[in-house]
Amino acid sequence: MTLRQAQDERVDAQLAGGSSGPARHVAIIMDGNGRWAKKRLLPRAVGHKRGVDAVREVVRAARHMGLEALTLYAFSSENWKRPEDEISDLMGLLRAFIRSDIEEFAANDVRLKIIGDYKVLPPDIVKLIEDALARTAHNSRTTLAVALNYGSQQEIARAAAAAAAKGAVTVAAIEAELDTADLPPLDLLIRTSGEVRLSNFLLWQAAYAEMWFTDVLWPDFTPGHLREALDHFATRERRYGGR
């Protein structure tokens, strides 16, 4: 079966609707690091560091909960507007996370994937990322997709242009060119911190995903909250526009 045929079948299956079943692919907008720190009169950098700790625990939990894919919004294409010192702190945390966790990923059959244009990041980070991608390329238990310098509108524009260059521009043709083309369809999108918006994240992929918004700030988000969201998802009947 070609990739295009697989994409067509996926669209047909979505339109058919049906019960949720277990989630295969969950995405999270990890929001609230700065507010978490502000509430405690701490520097924002401390909030970001605690946010990385939460990432580590949630990735481990996703593996144990049987998720095939977990996509995390780590750094958007709009985040470059933040103060330089905050961007520097975030880049430092990214370096530290890759260096400290890649061995655990390799040992536990976790594949790292990057969506977005990560190659504009500092060269040493690009090298760390590419080494980590190569190291985990053949892992298959869970895929951790990290969105870096990612914007969904830009992704859709790139995908549509690539589809047009190859032939007819159809839903399946665009899906085949998305950064997430090799991942299962998005089942559930979670956003922390009480904000209720998508912030240019997985706009195409979220077309029929279930949404779960929580007031919990990201550094306080635990595997228990992930389980709560998955339990909510399991109660949903996914109709995809049907009755």
Q: Which amino acid would we find at residue 215? A: D
What's the pLDDT tens digit per position in 119-151? 999 999 999 999 999 999 999 999 999 999 999
Q: Please report whether residue 238 resides in a domain.
A: no
Catalytic residues: 31, 79
- Say if 102 falls within a structural domain: yes
* 34 inside domain: yes
The answer to whether position 18 is within a domain reads no
Q: For residue 209, tell me if it sits in a domain.
A: yes
Domain that holds residue 82: 23-232
Per-residue pLDDT reduced to its tens digit, 83-97: 999 999 999 999 999
Establish if 15 belongs to a structural domain: no
Tokens of 234: 């399991």
Q: Report yes or no on 211 lying in a domain.
A: yes
Closest-CA residue to 89 (of 50, 132, 41)? 50
The CATH number of the domain holding residue 52 is 3.40.1180.10
DSSP, res 184: P
What is the number of domains present in the chain? 1
| pLDDT tens column, 35-59 | 999 999 999 999 999 999 999 999 9
Considering the domain boundaries, does residue 12 fall inside one?
A: no
DSSP assignment letter at 108: T
- The pair of three-digit structure tokens given for residue 102, joined into one six-digit string: 């890649």
